[in-house]
């Protein structure tokens, strides 16, 4: 009989310990463990967590999420936990909120390429490319880097997938509320965007692909998560998706500081002079050249390509360009010093460059921009 009573007592004791946390609290523990809020507690079963430890972790979480810091698992906190968010950890080996060591994880070059290697299921490729170009362009305006969309061998690869499992930092399952994840910064980067989410493009319903892309680019460049007002906030709320991205964002200031040692790129707005400009045939596009860079603009003068190195489009050229034009047949002529280059698209015509006075018998020996 004594043996039976002891067994009953042990069962009651274990049951009481296991049920010390509610189902919502156990869910919160699982969530907070996943995103790095329990230092040194990774092996503790959720049902055995001390409520004081959970309360302290919730206070940190609530502070980052912009909630009332109570340590209580209230409705507002549960709504954030059950909502969509970035899949990268808030605290961990590579990323810590408000404590980012940029020195060891920045890119060492200012010209970085990117490409989408797997497009979303229900968004056209050209629309997707346009949004991502704008996202990289936004970053390019705030830091000293140039991002170029390429077809092959990109530095940054972007894929729309329904699930991904690479490691503890870069993974999400089908049906999850994770919007996207990235690999940790390095020589190459990968961004995986959740293809189960109906991404919003122009209207205010759904989740903004533009904001999500900017956020993941921030990770690729070395940023950790920030508080609820930052583009690097891990939490995604539909009501906040279309807030204007601010240049005063602390995350952008961190990036500017981290990458300020890279060689400076030209700015179209701040340029004191322009080397040359010319329209393409039918006046569809306008090319603007400054030093080693060029801009491509549409007929409304809206910039549609952020500054690129001239050599990225015409590999035989470095710049600065003295003059240029495109004829009605689509041939592009570039003049630098005493020589002329003739291109169709990006391809140099055989026999070029040629001396200007050999092409035009009565022409000048040299062309120069003033």
* pLDDT, tens digit (0-9, with 9 covering 90-100), for 342-355: 999 888 999 898 88
The string of pLDDT tens digits covering residues 120-130 is 998 899 999 98
Mean pLDDT calculated for residue range 85-96: 75
Residue 6 pLDDT more than 50?
Answer: no
Domains in the chain with CATH codes? 2-82 (no CATH), 102-259 (3.40.390.10), 276-359 (2.110.10.10)
Instruction: Please count the CA atoms within 13 angstroms of the CA of 211 that sit on its side-chain side.
Output: 29
pLDDT at 148: 87
Mean pLDDT of 230-254: 66
DSSP string for residues in 206-230: SEEHHHHHHHHHHHHHT-----TTS
User: Which pair of structure tokens corresponds to residue 245?
Assistant: 């991205």
Q: What percent of the chain has pLDDT over 70?
A: 73
What was the pLDDT predicted at 332? Answer: 93
What would the pLDDT profile of 192-233 be if each residue is shown by its tens digit? 999 998 888 765 567 889 989 999 998 888 888 888 888 888
Average pLDDT score over residue span 236-248: 52
- Is residue 42 scored above 60 in pLDDT? no
Residue 42 phi, psi (nearest 5): -65, -25
Determine the Cα angle at 257 with ends 256 and 263, to 5°: 75
Q: Pick the more confident residue, 148 or 282.
A: 148
* 3-class secondary-structure state, position 358: helix
Closest CA to 307 of 180, 145, 198: 145
Evaluate the omega torsion of the peptide bond into residue 336 and state whether it is cis, within 30 degrees of 0. no
Is the pLDDT at 75 greater than 90? The verdict is yes
Cα within 13 Å of Cα(261), Cβ side: 7
Beta 323-326 vs 146-149: how paired, if at all? unpaired
């Amino acid at each position: 009989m004594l043996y039976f009573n002891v067994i009953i007592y042990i069962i009651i004791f274990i049951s009481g310990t296991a049920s010390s946390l509610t189902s919502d609290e156990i869910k919160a523990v699982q969530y907070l463990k996943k995103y790095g809020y329990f230092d040194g507690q990774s092996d503790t079963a959720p049902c055995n967590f001390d409520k004081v430890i959970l309360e302290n972790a919730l206070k940190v979480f609530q502070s980052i999420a912009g909630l009332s810091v109570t340590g209580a698992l209230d409705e507002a906190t549960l709504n954030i936990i059950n909502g969509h968010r970035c899949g990268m950890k808030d605290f961990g080996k590579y990323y810590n909120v408000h404590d980012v060591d940029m020195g060891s994880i920045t890119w060492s070059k200012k010209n970085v390429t990117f490409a989408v290697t797997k497009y979303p299921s229900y968004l056209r490729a050209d629309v997707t490319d346009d949004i991502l170009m704008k996202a990289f362009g936004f970053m390019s305006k705030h830091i000293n880097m140039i991002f170029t969309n390429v077809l092959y061998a990109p530095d940054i690869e972007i894929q729309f997938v329904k699930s991904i499992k690479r490691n503890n930092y870069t993974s999400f399952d089908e049906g999850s509320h994770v919007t996207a994840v990235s690999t940790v910064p390095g020589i190459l980067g990968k961004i995986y965007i959740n293809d189960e989410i109906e991404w919003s493009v122009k209207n205010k319903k759904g989740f903004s692909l533009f904001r999500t892309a900017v956020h993941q680019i921030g990770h690729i460049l070395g940023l950790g998560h920030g508080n609820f007002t930052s583009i690097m906030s891990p939490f995604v709320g539909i009501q906040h998706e279309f807030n204007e991205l601010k240049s005063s964002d602390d995350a952008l200031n961190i990036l500017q500081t981290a990458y300020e040692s890279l060689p400076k790129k030209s700015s179209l707005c701040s340029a004191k002079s322009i080397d040359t400009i010319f329209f393409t045939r039918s006046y569809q596009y306008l090319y603007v050249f400054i030093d080693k860079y060029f801009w491509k603009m549409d007929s409304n003068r809206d910039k549609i390509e952020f500054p690129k190195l001239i050599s990225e489009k015409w590999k035989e050229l470095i710049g600065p360009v003295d003059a240029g034009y495109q004829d009605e047949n689509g041939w592009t002529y570039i003049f630098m010093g005493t020589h002329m280059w003739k291109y169709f698209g990006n391809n140099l015509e055989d026999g070029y460059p040629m001396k200007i006075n050999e092409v035009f018998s009565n022409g000048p020996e040299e062309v120069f921009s003033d």
